[in-house]
């Protein structure tokens, strides 16, 4: 019998989402497990994941009909099938885990294809989302961190070692840049992730006396900044202006690299579109080389966030 | 009869080099014409170029045996066959010239393939040079300006519009950066080209009183700085240290994009290898994301400079 279904898995720091997907991109069954309750025990996590995958396939009634499993995970390597030194995954923070091999074994031989979460998102947008028909675009995921997936001529760029597309760790502030989780300073991720926005808020409030709704919030998150901006809070609006400007400036250099048709944004922080779009466009077009001025689009993912990561990962599995 | 020969043309600001090349990459006849004596008259230049190409083919005794012509030119566009708004070419500085179409017509229908000079150099290195066998590398040409050709998975990255790979115009100095010929500030090219090195020398000499052999030179060029460095001149050595550090820092961000196996350097300034290599490596490995530390090579072109550009351009023609 032809195997007509695939499984997509989005491995995140806190939870992992699993879905069974048909050839049209419909998620016909899905489930979620926690990723953060296994400490450094990779095998325990993969056991739990395999059990959840089997349960999901059973629920969908598609046992024996799964062609393959596609996985998006932080630091997931397409070539080696390893998840290696991923700061946000306790079970892979200090080691290289042979993820694909282990999962295949637990799934009685169903083949597994792995890449990082941002590459999976790029494949998802190209297959089912706003990047349909685009052959050259750059996916930027604005979540807890900043990830990227670069598509050139219709294919994800993996590079020599499978780790290409770490644009969240390109430099945006050269002098006295903020410390980044990667151990260096001034990275895009340290400023333009959800964590970066919250950090900007805390720094600015500390160094000014400007009144702000945010002064009443404990443990400010990027969502708090968004809510305050919606209320017209000047500090919150300025934070988005600053964040959008840094993003747009960074994009102008990314464009010089691969001359994309569009930058595609996805992730929690991308929901602040109404405050980010204008400063991003202004900074991008103000800093880009003349030939690209007013030529490159910035578009936002239209996929339901809960589906997008699963769909992206699942799209990988069709190539197996 | 099978057509077994190609022509490679390297169009530069001052001269254009033409060569007839066989399938093994031997340049069997070559000639040079000036590029800078036609003002803004593109047709006059292309007429002269076509006449020189015909003469070169005749000299090689290969009339009727030419499969195609490959051309590398600043701002040459692979998709459109145009040379457009190239600051260093008077005849294309303010207009888009339908270069490939015009040249084909003048050559009685021999097909012409065009790309920018750095992409041509990348193809040359991949076909005949130090990048043989590499599928992922970044070519950086350190000449009057700084050009780049990016190879991903064995193919040159052209991007959505054919202009990908303008890494000479990514930002290296964000605040009070030098004005660049492109109209912006702080570009890699404004610091790390032959012109940039000469500019650094002039600026530094003006703003310090340190003794230097360079103080005796009128109209300092990068070659003068090289000669002085060879004599152990402290200022000259510091200039290369500074230039190499900026290059290496820029490379660390380029690596985050496409995860290349190597950065390949070519061009006049690359001859200062003995002074550039160490600061470049130090800055690159000091700034790159952990996963790439001490992993990416910096290699220098081994092709004879006079042949390399012709060979690179000619390699394009085999695909015609």
Which residue from B minimizes the CA distance to A166?
B256
Which residues of A are less than 8 Å from B169 in CB distance? Answer: 256, 289
Q: How far apart are CA B226 and CA B300, in angstroms?
A: 17
A34 touches chain B (CB under 8 A): no
**Where is average pLDDT lowest: A202-206, B2-6, B166-170, B176-180?**
B2-6
**pLDDT score, position A220:** 97
How many Cβ atoms from other residues are within 10 Å of residue A86's Cβ? 22
Q: Rounded to whole angstroms, how far apart are CA atoms B303 and B311? A: 9
SS3 percent helix, strand, coil of chain A, rounded to 5, is 45, 20, 35
For the cut 70, the answer to whether the pLDDT of residue B251 exceeds it is yes
Among the listed residues B99, B78, B91, B110, the one whose alpha carbon sits nearest the alpha carbon of residue B35: B91
Q: How far apart are CA B137 and CA A155, in angstroms?
A: 17
Average pLDDT score over chain B: 94
CA angle B11, B16, B22 (to 5 degrees): 90
- ipTM computed for the complex: 0.92
Instruction: Please tell me the distance from the alpha carbon of residue B82 to that of residue B98, in angstroms, as a whole number.
Output: 5
What percentage of chain A carries pLDDT values higher than 90? Answer: 85
On whether the CB atoms of residues A132 and A126 are closer than 8 A, the answer is: yes
Is A95 part of the contact surface with chain B (CB cutoff 8 Å)?
no
> What pLDDT does B302 receive?
86
The residues that bridge with A146 in the sheet, in sequence order, are A142
Of the candidates A84, A160, A291, the beta carbon closest to that of B136 is on A160
Which residues are bridge partners to B115 per DSSP? Answer: B72
* Beta pairing, strands A297-300 & A262-266: parallel
Residue A2: pLDDT over 80 = no
Find residues 147-166 of chain B whose CB sits inside 8 Å of chain A: 150, 152-153, 155, 157-166
Residue A151 reports pLDDT greater than 70: yes
pLDDT of residue B60: 96
Write out the two tokens for A309: 């990561």
A12 reaches B (C-beta below 8 A): no
pTM: 0.93
How many angstroms away from the CA of B218 is the closest CA of chain A? 33
Find where tokens 């074994």 sit. A105
- φ/ψ region of B214 (left if φ > 0, alpha if ψ in -120 to 50, else beta) reads alpha
Q: Within 10 A of B1 (CB to CB), how many other CB atoms are there?
A: 5
For the cut 80, the answer to whether the pLDDT of residue B72 exceeds it is yes
Which chain B residues contact residue A150 at CB under 8 A? 257-258
pLDDT digits (tens, 9 = 90+) for A23-33: 888 999 999 99
The answer, yes or no, to whether residue B320 has pLDDT greater than 80, is no
Beta strands B5-11; B66-72: pairing state: parallel
Write the secondary structure of A216-272 as one string of H (helix), E (strand) and C (coil).
HCCCCCHHHHHHHHHCCCHHHHHHHHHHHHHHHHHHHHHHHHHCCCEEEEECHHHHH
Lowest mean pLDDT segment, chosen from A174-183, A244-253, A267-276, A299-308? A299-308
In the predicted structure, residue A98 carries a pLDDT above the cut 90: yes
CB contact under 8 A, A150 and B175: no
- In sequence order, the 6+-apart residues with CB closer than 8 A to the CB of B11 are B35, B49, B71, B72, B73, B74, B76, B83, B89, B117
What is the percent of chain B with per-residue pLDDT over 70, rounded to a whole number? Answer: 100
Q: Which residues from chain A sit within 8 angstroms of residue B164, using beta carbons?
A: 136, 152, 257-259
- pLDDT tens digits, A136-150: 999 999 988 999 999
Looking at the partner chain, which of B84, B169, B291 has a beta carbon nearest the beta carbon of A163? B291
Give the residue ranges of DSSP H helices in chain A.
Answer: 42-60, 99-106, 117-128, 188-192, 194-207, 222-230, 234-258, 273-287, 305-317
Q: Which residues of A216-244 are buried (b: 16+ CB within 10 A; e: fewer)?
A: ebeebebbbbbebbeeebebbbbbbbbbb
Q: Range with the lowest mean pLDDT among A268-282, B63-77, B139-153, B294-308?
A: B294-308
CA closest to A77 among chain B residues: B291
Kindly write down the DSSP assignment for every residue of B256-268, as one continuous string: HHH--SEEEEESG
Q: What pLDDT is attached to residue A128?
A: 86
User: What gap in Å lies between CA B16 and CA B72, rounded to an integer?
Assistant: 10
Residue B1: per-residue pLDDT: 61
When scoring B291, B296, B297 by the number of chain A Cβ atoms within 10 A, the one with the most, hence best to mutate, is B291
Nearest by CB to residue A259, choosing from B135, B159, B261, is B159
Q: What pLDDT is attached to residue A1?
A: 61
Contacts of A77 in chain B (CB under 8 A): none
Q: Do A155 and B153 touch (CB under 8 A)?
A: yes
With a CB cutoff of 8 Å and minimum separation 6, the contacts of B211 are none
CA-to-CA dists, residue B133 to B106, B119, B154, B161, B270, angstroms? 36, 17, 9, 27, 22
Q: Rounded distance, CA A140 to CA B156, Å?
A: 23
Alpha-carbon distances of B251 from A260, B132, B179, B294, rounded to whole Å:
20, 21, 21, 13
Inter-residue contact A69 to A63 (CB < 8 Å): no
CA angle in degrees (0–180, nearest 5) for B170-B173-B179: 80
- Report the C-alpha gap between A132 and A125 in whole angstroms: 7
Nearest to A19 by CA among A7, A11, A32, A3: A7
| Pairwise CB contact (< 8 Å): A165 & B291 | no
Q: Based on DSSP, count helices (H) and strands (E) in chain B, helices before strands.
A: 9, 12
In this structure, are residues A91 and A40 in contact, taking their beta carbons and an 8 Å threshold? yes
In chain B, the residue whose alpha carbon lies closest to the alpha carbon of A174 is B174
Which chain A residues have a beta carbon less than 8 Å from that of B175? 175
Share the mean pLDDT of chain A: 94
């Amino acid at each position: 019998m032809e195997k007509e279904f695939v499984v997509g898995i989005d491995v995140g720091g806190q939870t992992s989402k699993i879905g069974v997907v048909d050839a049209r991109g419909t998620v016909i069954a899905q489930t979620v497990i926690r990723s953060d309750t296994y400490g450094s025990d990779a095998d325990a996590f993969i056991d739990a994941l395999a059990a959840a995958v089997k349960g999901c396939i059973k629920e969908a009634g598609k046992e024996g009909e799964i062609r393959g499993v596609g996985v998006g995970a932080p630091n997931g390597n397409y070539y080696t099938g390893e998840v290696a030194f991923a700061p946000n995954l306790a079970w892979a923070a200090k080691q290289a885990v042979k993820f694909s091999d282990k999962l295949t074994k637990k799934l009685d031989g169903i083949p597994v294809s792995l890449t990082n979460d941002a590459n999976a998102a790029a494949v998802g947008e190209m297959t089912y989302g706003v990047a349909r028909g685009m052959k050259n675009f750059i996916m930027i995921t604005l979540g807890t961190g900043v990830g990227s997936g670069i598509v050139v001529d219709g294919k994800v760029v993996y590079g020599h070692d499978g780790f290409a597309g770490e644009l969240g760790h390109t430099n945006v502030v050269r002098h006295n840049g903020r410390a980044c989780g990667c151990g260096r300073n001034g990275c895009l991720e340290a400023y333009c992730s959800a964590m970066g926005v919250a950090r900007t808020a805390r720094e600015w409030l500390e160094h000014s006396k400007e009144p702000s709704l945010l002064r009443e919030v404990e443990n400010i998150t990027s969502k708090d900044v968004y809510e305050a901006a919606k209320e017209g809070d000047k500090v919150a609006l300025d934070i988005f202006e600053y964040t959008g400007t840094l993003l747009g400036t960074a994009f102008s250099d990314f464009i010089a690299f691969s001359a994309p048709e569009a930058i595609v944004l996805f992730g929690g922080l991308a929901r602040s579109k109404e405050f980010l779009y204008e400063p991003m466009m202004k900074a991008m077009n103000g800093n880009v080389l003349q030939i690209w001025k007013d030529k490159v689009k910035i578009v936002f993912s239209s996929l339901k966030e809960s589906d997008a990561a699963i769909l992206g990962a699942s799209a990988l599995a069709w190539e197996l």
